[in-house]
A and B are shown apart, each in its own frame.
Chain A
Amino acid sequence: MKTEFIIEAALAIQQTILANESTLESLDREIGDGDHYINMKRGATTVAEMQADLAPLKPDEALNKIGMKLLSTIGGASGPLLASFFMSMAKVLKENGDESNLKIAAAFAGGVQAIIQRGKAGIGEKTMLDVLIPVSNEFVLLATQNCDVKLICATLIHTAGQGMLSTKDLIATKGRAAGLGERAIGHIDPGAKSCQLMIETVCKLALAK
Chain B
Amino acid sequence: MKKFINKVDNILVESLSGFAKAHDDLVELHLETNFLTRANKAQNKVAIISGGGSGHEPLHAGYIGYGMLDAACPGHVFTSPTPDQMLMAAEAVHADKGILFIVKNYAGDVMNFEMAAEMLPFEHATVLTSDDCAVVNSTYTTGRRGVAGTVIVEKCVGSLAETGADLQACKALGDKVNKRTASIGVALTSCTVPAAGRPTFDINESEIEMGVGIHGEPGRRREAMRPADEIIGDCVEAILMDFKTRQLQPTKKHEALLLINGFGATPLMELYLIYNTAARLFNLHNLEISRSLVGNYTTALDMAGASITLCLLDDEIKQHWDSPVHTAALRWGK
Query: What is the interface of chain A, defined by CB distance below 8 A to chain B?
Result: 25, 29, 31-35, 37-39, 42, 71-81, 118-119, 172-181, 183
Partner of A38, one of B83, B134, B195: B195
Partner of A179, one of B75, B134, B195, B196: B134
- Secondary structure class of chain B's binding surface, majority of residues: loop
Let me know if A29 and B201 touch, CB within 8 A.
yes
Q: A76-B53, A181-B220 are in contact. List 14 more A-B contacts (CB 8 A).
A: A29-B196, A35-B78, A35-B79, A39-B79, A71-B83, A72-B83, A75-B108, A75-B112, A80-B112, A173-B142, A174-B107, A176-B107, A179-B145, A179-B217
Determine if B76 is an interface residue (Cβ-Cβ < 8 Å).
yes
Partner of B196, one of A25, A118, A173, A178: A25
- 1/0 per residue, CB under 8 A from A, across B63-83: the answer is 000000000000111111111
* Chain B minimum-CB-distance residue to A38: B195
Interface-located stretch among B121-129, B160-168, B208-216, B265-273: B208-216
Let me know if B200 and A79 touch, CB within 8 A.
no
5 A-B pairs with least C-beta separation: A33-B215, A77-B108, A178-B141, A76-B108, A80-B111
Determine if B308 is an interface residue (Cβ-Cβ < 8 Å).
no
Q: How far is the CB of A79 from chain B (nearest CB, A)?
A: 6
Partner of B79, one of A25, A75, A177, A178: A75
Determine if B13 is an interface residue (Cβ-Cβ < 8 Å).
no
Q: How far is the CB of A112 from chain B (nearest CB, A)?
A: 16
User: Chain B interface residue count: which class?
Assistant: 35 or more
User: Which residues in chain B, 194-246, are within 8 Å of chain A measured between CB atoms?
Assistant: 195-196, 200-201, 211, 213, 215-221
Tell me the complex Cα distance, A77–B75, Å: 12
Determine if B26 is an interface residue (Cβ-Cβ < 8 Å).
no
- Tell me which residues across on chain B come within 8 A of A173, comparing CB atoms: 140-142
Given A29-B200, A38-B195, A38-B196, are A76 and B80 neighbors across the interface (CB < 8 Å)? yes
Let me know if A71 and B211 touch, CB within 8 A.
no
Let me know if B84 and A181 touch, CB within 8 A.
no
Let me know if B196 and A75 touch, CB within 8 A.
no
Tell me the complex Cα distance, A65–B186, Å: 43
Partner of B106, one of A37, A78, A119, A176: A176
Determine if B257 is an interface residue (Cβ-Cβ < 8 Å).
no
Tell me the complex Cα distance, A193–B78, Å: 20
Let me know if B82 and A73 touch, CB within 8 A.
yes
Let me know if B217 and A75 touch, CB within 8 A.
no
Let me know if A33 and B216 touch, CB within 8 A.
yes
- Tell me which residues across on chain B come within 8 A of A72, comparing CB atoms: 82-84
- Tell me which residues across on chain A come within 8 A of B81, comparing CB atoms: 75
Given A71-B82, A178-B141, A179-B211, are A79 and B112 neighbors across the interface (CB < 8 Å)? yes
- Tell me which residues across on chain A come within 8 A of B137, comparing CB atoms: 181
Tell me the complex Cα distance, A174–B53, Å: 19
Determine if B169 is an interface residue (Cβ-Cβ < 8 Å).
no
Tell me the complex Cα distance, A31–B108, Å: 16
Determine if B11 is an interface residue (Cβ-Cβ < 8 Å).
no
Specify which of A38, A81, A177, A179 lies most central, judged by the most chain B CB atoms within 10 Å of its CB.
A179
Determine if B135 is an interface residue (Cβ-Cβ < 8 Å).
yes
Tell me the complex Cα distance, A193–B47, Å: 40
Tell me the complex Cα distance, A78–B135, Å: 22
- Tell me which residues across on chain A come within 8 A of B195, comparing CB atoms: 35, 38
Q: How far is the CB of A137 from chain B (nearest CB, A)?
A: 24
Let me know if B80 and A179 touch, CB within 8 A.
no
Tell me the complex Cα distance, A73–B83, Å: 10
* Chain B minimum-CB-distance residue to A172: B141
Could you pull out 26 A-B pairs where Cβ atoms are within 8 angstroms?
A31-B218, A33-B78, A33-B200, A33-B215, A33-B217, A35-B76, A35-B195, A37-B196, A72-B83, A75-B53, A75-B80, A75-B82, A75-B112, A76-B79, A76-B108, A77-B106, A78-B108, A79-B108, A81-B111, A118-B111, A119-B107, A172-B141, A173-B142, A178-B135, A179-B217, A181-B136
